[in-house]
Each structure stands twice: as structure tokens, then as C-alpha cells.
Amino acid sequence: MTEARETTTFGGGAVESGFPVRLMTPGTELGARYEVRSVLGRGGTAVVYAAWDRELKRAVALKVLRADRVSEAMLKRLRREAAVARDAASPHLVRVFDIGQAGDAVFLTMELVEGESLRERLSRGPLTEEEALGITKQVLRGLSALHGLGIVHRDVKPGNVLLTPSGVAKLADFGLALDTESDETRATQTGGLLGTVEYLAPEQAVGGEVDGRADLYAVGVMLFEMVTGEVPFRRGTSIATVLAHLNERARELRQVRPSTPRWLSEVVARLLSKDPGDRYATAEEVLAALGRRSAGRAGTRSTRRRIARAVLAALVLLAGAGATIVTAPWRGRTVARIASAGTAGIRALDEDGKVLWERDDVPESGFCALVHVRGLSRQRVVALRHSPGARPAGPEGALLSFLSPSTGAVEREIRLAAPHAEAFAGEPARFSPAEVRALDLDDDGADEVLATFVHYNSAPSYVVLYEPAREESRLVFLGTGYHYVSGAADLDGDGRKEVVLHGTANGLGWYSAVAAVPAASLPEQERRSARADNPPVCSPDLPPSSGTETRSWYTLVGPPYGDAAQRSTARLDTSGGRLVLDGDERWEFTLDGFRVRATSAPPPNGRGEKRRTAYQELRAAGIAARTETWPDGLRHAREAAAAASGAGEALLAEWARRVEAGLLVRSGAVEDGVARFEELMRTTEVPALVAFDAGRALHRAGELRPAVDWYVRLAGGAGTGTGRNPWEALEGAVLALAETGRFDEAARVVVRFRGAFGEGAPHASMYAAFVDWKRGLAPGPERFESESALDLHRYWQLEARLARGESATALLSTLDAVDDPSNALGELRRLLRAELRMRAGAPAAEVLDSARAALTALRGARTQEPIARAHLDVATARFARIAEAAGKRDEVKETRAFLARVWGKSERAIRRQAS
């Protein structure tokens, strides 16, 4: 957060010599909400404190503006810092929660990052190459999130990089950040430069226009410093240092530290290019270079760039004297790269970084790619257009647009292949674009296009391949969990490349996973049609397509890392015969898809077949769980664990044991199942996932009290780390407590989760409103998040609107605008539709059959889906009203009696709660 992180206490708020600012002492209250614990650091404009948030019961950092520096300009920078940090969500950016004021103190409430700054770490000497690269990659991922919003940090330096004890690097201090879209956000400072001179890019030093490449220059300086222990330019005065940035060539890394690999020295040299056009264009390009351990080719320096740099160098002294420098907007002739434009949209840039055209219907740069097309000298631009509020793509498939490189106009569109409506059981076909990649899969000099789509509000994803030469598209991968393309390589030596994917295996325990799937078309004589002879590969929890299991592999590699960390780069190490994935971490695999580990033991015989057997047994266990044939399910789970262990796949074996524990609970052997879960909690790297599994199994078995205890573990020790979203456990706990009528406890659980996770537990207000609705308080629809993408939340909003007396016709219009999912929530929606139709004038007898079918389905789903059992009272009361109106009093009585049996309450108590 600041250059120094101190914890010295200054008693009584005394003024320290040389620092004319009164510091708050431990115990000082800031407003009624925050209690100061210690001083973390201080700078020229603010002091940063560790504090305790009494309302949310968590430690935070407070960045308090110095009283002598409060001005409109400083307040503007503070507001900018809050806005930037809120918009640019990334695990490698320090989160800012809010901006506040107490008395004359103005402050930001921020994430408290335990650990030290990179500046403190460097005070102990240079870093190893691997340490330096690990930190650099994480900083680049944070910058990628910023640059994706069109924001330039402008003050990247070691003091603004915070390192946690677990090795996570977070970029802080967005007070100088510049939104390249808005002149309103350009900060000024009289008598000085914005930024720190040792890390200033030449164009930034002279007050010229800057973009993300200025931040990449600073990254180059930091990487140089991490490896060597010194910055490339430091002179006796600030102006001398600025002149060195402008006119002197940095020493090569290998000259200062001879053991440095040549490729790394070349990467740093390119980052430190004087001309922005000679640097990497984006943070993603630097990550790719670090991943492949090759600097790549720099652009050709034009004469006008050299002239411009000389002019700027000559004018720097005038800039120091207060003169204004105006740069000329040189325009290129063709697209060199595509960048994100602010919070939404893209802009095409020429080789000089000047804007050629913009579009606001392509969400970000990851939704488009530059493609080499056979027979054309220039690259083409392909994009997935998706405006805010656009309807997600269904079975008809999305449109891939070819855009004019010079104007951005749509030249033609191709309808892409898509999964059929029932490809993912229980999930309606609603997919949004996630990314577009251009890869040359057959080494013919022309690119193929790979487009990834993710479910609008749930787990599935798919990847579709478009071949411009054939003008054909086909599915190459279906998965339960978001999977992204990392690259392509010929792994089996057949001359055709496999596409490497990295994602989360939602259907296999939520572990991080890597897959290799065939993508290149079969030779013409071997294929009758691309769709028939090239079926898509599925993640192993789904039924496999014919013939794909032996032509692909899928492996679990570690805890879930989140979307940003899964944007890795794959490359083939031909010398070692290994597949290497470089991202936040580095993974190495044998070409048949097994992690390379530091062991001298030979690999198990037949391990590929054993892994496939484990997947087959797990699919069988899943079928047995759905049909509630517990002995079969337990047998399959145990055989899966044995096969996975025999293949050396420890995480797959752990998932099989998690499945077995859940089946034990649901079969009635509750104590044995809970004991297995406790044993797993002692050994697993993913305690949050195990705790959720236990809570869900107990919930399905009707053991609601212990289910809640397991769910709320995620708000304690089991919640640390990554895994399922906290709101999923919150939802489980709230549904279970509401079913038992413990509404006050449910409300306390909401507060507990909000305190534990803050912004990490979204939708907390939604669940608080649900609790009030279930206890009969009829909260207004405004308390339910209208923008939530979750179908359950939208259903609750409809119920709230109905309770407030909104017309049945209006509610039917909203209900019919979205397809019903084929699960318990879909049945709740169908039952609601039946009553709304009756209220709109349809005879009760006309809607009775539909209502009866929906209630019957909900009864059957109560042991599989907690949503079904939690809303069984609402569904029963709704059906009773319809049946009563249709004169079916016997059905009304039977329905209420059934609910009393399964809920263990009297019919009167249930009617009172359901009303």
C-alpha cells in the first residue's frame, strides 16, 4: 500500500520529528465502526492503519488521507482509487471495499494484506529467478485486469506490490490510475511528476500520452531489480534519472547477473524499450513470453519514433520548467492488436498504439482474435458480439462475426455449432461467450478459431472449433465447469495437434483440471463428415462420446484456482517429452496426461486404463445415487478409489472417497459417513469443498441440524482458500434452517457469512430477504437483487411481487420470458405458473394436472435437491389452493398429510408457516 509498512506506536497521537502528521494510536476509534490497531505505513499523502471493523467483525486496512493534504485533487484521487479497485476484480489486486468519512478524516476501507511489500523483501537482497518470475506473473495478471478496463496504473513499483505469507502478490495503490477513456480522471500534481522516477516509462516522464505499455515498462524495471538487486537507472537527482530513462540504454540483465538465462534477459530488454511500440503490446503477451521462455520478436522501430523520442528528450528540461508538451496523434494503417475499451467494448489499435476503430457490442478483447487466413496477406478480425442484456445463446448456436480490419464493420457472420438442449442434464441451454483464440492447429500457416462458451448462471461450458478453410464448425469439448484453451500440441505423435484445456472440474470435486482433446480434422479420405467422425470430448463425469475416451485425457491437478489462474499457456517440451503449462503456477505432464512429480518410483503399469476405469466407476456411482440404490453406489465409489490409487491419481482417489462418504450418509449410515468426512478434513487441501459435501449429503438425508453445522464451517477455518462460492454454503444453511422454522438463527448465519467473506459472499441480502419472506414478513421485491443471474433468486423475486399484490398477467409475462430448467426449480416455476393462470381467469380444473405433476416431481426430488425440500411447504400450499378451487378436497388433505410426515410437523404448524 505504501513504501514503508511500520507498526511503531506513537503514544497519545504525538507528532514524530520529521513527519509533521499526528498519527492515530492503537485503540483510536474512527467513527463508531472502526478501531485502529496499528500503523502499517505512511506516504506523502496518506497513512495506512490496520483496523478492526466492528460491524462486519473483520480486520481491514484504512488508508486515511493526511489532514494537511485534503484538497479537491486529493479527494478526486481517493475516489478514483476506490472506483478503480471496485471495477477491476482480480486476486492480484488489493480490494477496496468503500470510501468513508468520520469527522475531518477521509479514508478508504481496504483488504488487509498480511505479509510484506516487495520493497521490504528486496531490502534483504535479490530474489531467485523463480521467485522473481512468480511475482512478475501475478503482477501482470493484476495489470491485465486493470488494462482490460482501459485503466493504466502509472505507479507500478515494489512498494505497491504486497506479498502474502502464502506467496500471493497483490498490486495496490490505484491513486494515480488513469482511465484512458476519460479526461476527467487525469490527475495533476504541481511541481512534480506523477509516479516514481526510477520506474517511469520515458513517455510518462515527459507528460506524454500513456497506455498500458507504460506499466509494462515499470514491470521490466521491477523484474530487473528483483533479479539483480538494483534498478537499471538511478542517478544523483530526479531529473538526471528521468534523462537516463529517455536517453540511456539499460544494461543487459546478463551483464549484471551472468547466470540469468538469455531468454529472460531479452524479455527484460524488450520491456525496457524506450519506444512503447517496441515493447510487448499487452500484459497477456508478456505472460505468454514468460510461459514459453522466449522473448519473441520486437516490432521494427520507425524513423518517426526515433525522431519523436529525440524531440521528447530535448524537451524534458522545458517540461521541468512548467512547459506543456503536446504529442501528435499519428495513425497507423492496419490493426496490430485489439484492446479492451474501458468497462465494455473493444478498440483496434495500429502499430503505434493509436485507435483505428471501436465497438461496444464486443465485451472485451478476449472475445475477439486476429486470424491468419490462407491466401490473405493481412490478418482478419473475428469476434463474438454480445451486448449487455443480450439473450444467451441456446441450441441454435452463437454467431461468429468477421470484422473489417480497417473499419470494424461486420463483413460476414458464421453460425457456430452448439450442444443440443439436453446436453447438460437439468441446465437450460443458456450460454455466453467467454473467449476466442486463434491457433494454427495443422501448421499450414493459417489459423483455426476456438471459441469458448460458459453457462449463463451455472457450471457447464463448451468449446467449438471453426475452420475457415472448410467453413465448418464443430464441438470439440463439453464440460461441467468452466474450461479455457491453453494452447495446442501434438501429444500422441500422430501429426495432428490436441487442444489443451485448463479449468475447474465441477462434476469431479471442483478440483482444477487439465484436458487434452483432439481437434484437427481427420484427413479427407478418413472422414465422411466433420460432425460424425469428430465427436466432442466430454469431461469424465458426463457420458462419453463414442470413441473419444482413448483419444483424449483428463486429469485433476490441484485445488481450484479461479478463472484468472486458469488462463495458462501450454507448450510442448520436445527435449524432455513433456507438456508444460505456465500460469500462476507451473505444471509439467507426461504426454499421456499425468503430473510429473519429483520421485524415482516408476509409473504404475496401465495407469491410463486404470484412470479411465476410475472415471467409469464414478459415473456409475452417480447413477446409483440418483436412483438411490445405495449398495451399488458404495461399491462403485470404492472401486473408483482403488482404480484411481492404482493409477497414481491421488486427487481422483480423494474425490471417490468424498463420494463414498456422501453415499454412506444418504444410505442411513450417518455416523460412518460423518466419520469419513472428518477423516478427509484432516488430510485434504480443499477443506471447504469437503465441508460443503458433508453439509449437502446430510441436507439430502434430512439431517438438517448437522447439515447446518457443516455448512457454517465455511465461515470458519474451512472457508479459507478456494473452492465453491461461499453463497452456496450460505444458501444450504439458510434453506435448512428455514425448513425447520429457525428463522432467527438463519438471519444470524447470514450475518456470520457476510462478516467472514465480505464481498466474497455475494447475495447475502438476498438470503436475508428470503428468511423474512419465509417467516411471513413479505419483503418487497426491491430487497431481491433484480440483476442476479441465479434462477432461484429470480424465482424469489416473483414470489415477492406476488405477495405484494402485483397482477397475475404481469407476473406471467416475466415468468414466460425465460425457459424453465428441468430440475426442482423448474417445477416450482411450473407450479407458480399454474396458480397465476388460475388467478388470471383460467379454470382451476384446467391447471390442476400441471400443478399435480409439478408437485409430484418436487416430492420425488426432495432427497436429491435441497431446493425442493426447502420449498415443499410453499408448493403444498399452492397446490392445495388450486385443488380446493377445483373441488379436490381429498387431494388437499393427502397433500398436507404427506408434508407433515416428511417434515415431522403437525398439519396446523405447516399451514401456519406456509401461509
| Residue ranges in the chain modelled with pLDDT below 50 | 1-20, 175-193, 299-332, 522-532, 564-565, 719-721, 906-907, 910, 913-914
Cα angle 888, 889, 890 (rounded to 5 degrees) comes to 95
Rounded CA gap, 675 and 180, in Å? 57
Residue 163 near residue 117, CB atoms below 8 Å: yes
* Cα 449 from Cα 439, distance rounded (Å): 6
Cell of 114: 498480511
What cell was used for 552?
Answer: 483424449
Give the distance from CA 79 to its chain's centroid: 25
According to the model, what pLDDT value does residue 494 have? 80
What residue ranges define each of the domains in the chain, with the CATH number in brackets? 11-110 (3.30.200.20), 116-320 (1.10.510.10), 337-598 (2.130.10)
Annotated catalytic residues are 155
Specify the pLDDT at position 758. Answer: 67
Predicted local confidence at residue 323, as pLDDT: 25
Task: At 377, list the grid cell.
Answer: 496477406
Q: Which residues contact 536 (CB under 8 A, 6 or more apart)?
A: 462, 474, 475, 476, 477, 478, 517, 545, 548
Predicted local confidence at residue 762, as pLDDT = 62
What is 371-394 written as a DSSP string?
A: E--TT-SSPEEEE----TTPPPB-
- The β-bridge partners of 400 are 414
Using CA atoms, how far apart are residues 44 and 63, in angstroms rounded to an integer? 12
Q: What are phi and psi of 866, to 5 degrees?
A: -55, -30
The dihedral through the CA atoms of 886, 889, 893, 894 has a sign that is: negative
Could you tell me the sign of the dihedral formed by the alpha carbons of 608, 613, 614, 620, in that order?
Answer: positive
Residue 219: how many other CB atoms lie within 10 Å: 24
Residue type, 140: L
Q: What is the 3-state secondary structure (H, E, C) of 295-309?
A: CCCCCCCCHHHHHHH
b/e code 256-294 from CB counts within 10 Å (16+ = b): bbeebeeebbbbbbbbbbbbbbbbbbbbbbbbbbbbbbe
Angle, alpha carbons 285-288-293 (nearest 5°):
125
Residues pairing with 462 in the sheet: 453, 478
CB atoms under 10 Å from CB of 481, counted, come to 23
Strands 337-340 and 346-349: antiparallel
φ and ψ at 783, to 5 degrees? Answer: -80, -15
Mapped onto helix, strand or coil, the DSSP state of residue 748 is helix
**Nearest Cα to 74, choosing from 43, 114, 29, 36?**
43
Identify the pLDDT of residue 91.
77
pLDDT at position 352: 79
Confidence (pLDDT) at 682: 94
Residue 706 backbone dihedrals phi, psi, to 5 degrees: -65, -30
Q: What is the structure's pLDDT at 265?
A: 92
Check if the beta carbon of residue 382 is closer than 8 Å to that of residue 436.
Answer: yes
pLDDT of residue 131: 92
Phi-psi region of 862 (alpha: psi -120 to 50; beta: other; left: phi over 0): alpha
The dihedrals phi and psi of 65, each to the nearest 5 degrees, come to -70, 130
Work out the burial of residue 420: count CB atoms within 10 Å of its CB; fewer than 13 is exposed, 13-18 middle, 19 or more buried.
exposed
**DSSP secondary structure code for residue 717 in this structure:** G
Residue 573 Cα to chain centre, angstroms: 29
SS3 31: coil
Q: 720-765 pLDDT, tens per residue?
A: 445 677 788 889 999 999 988 899 999 999 888 887 776 555 678 8
C-alpha span between 163 and 171 (Å, rounded): 9
Q: How many angstroms separate the first and last alpha carbons of the chain?
A: 53
Which spans in 123-174 are helix H? 129-148
Locate 119 and state its grid cell: 520493497
DSSP state of 184: G
Pairing of strands 169-171, 346-349: unpaired
Decide if 667 contacts 634 (C-beta within 8 A): yes
Q: Which residues pair with 556 in a beta bridge?
A: 513
Give the total residue count for the chain.
915
Residue 85, H or E segment? helix 72-87
- Quote the CA–CA distance of 169 and 628 in Å, as a whole number: 46
